[in-house]
Amino acid sequence: MKMLTDLRKKIAHNSEIIDDKISSYFADRLGVTDLETINALGTDGDFNFHQKVNLFIELLPLTKIDRAKFKVFLQITNELILNDDIFGFDNGNFEFNNYHPFLINTYSVDMEKHSLKEKLTFAVHRLIDDVVVLIPHYIAKPKIYYNKNVGIKLPE
């Protein structure tokens, strides 16, 4: 139980960090100085965390695997809000969510002797760390494209 409590705290804390980084990116791109302006851009004046992350992954040229990491992270945060047990363990029975294979295959392949719950917890910790690192990576080093029809090269 402590393992899941610690994971919940890490997800909540890092969601705030991710929200701040993405909001700062949007504020910089739009030329505004306060994040409240960014937060007011959504429907009914509420640009929520999930909308920001979805827009971020649509605007920036992420690799397929990095895009999948963001989407799985969003699924996990959604489940965290809706359920007490984000892995679907209920009275000892395991409900297999559609992102579990991705987590196991990407992050905990070498953890053969551990329980499924330990593998998933480890994988989610690594996923969170990856997502936090990916945001500044994609913000700092945007891909440069050349459109031969227009002849414009995006600024470096």
Q: Cα separation of 150 and 62, whole Å?
A: 23
CA distance 15 to 8: 10
Distance CA 18, CA 20 (A): 5
Question: What six digits make up the tokens of 92?
Answer: 């000892």
Tokens of 69: 């990491």
Q: Assign 91 to helix, strand or coil.
A: coil
Domain interval for residue 136:
2-153
The per-residue pLDDT string of the chain (156 residues; one tens digit each, 9 = 90 and over) reads 677 778 888 888 999 999 999 988 888 888 888 777 777 777 777 788 888 899 899 988 889 999 999 999 998 888 776 665 555 555 444 454 678 888 888 887 777 777 877 888 888 889 999 999 999 998 886 555 555 665 555 555
Number of domain units in the chain = 1
pTM of the model: 0.77
Residue 27 near residue 38, CB atoms below 8 Å = yes
For residue 87, which amino acid is it? Answer: F
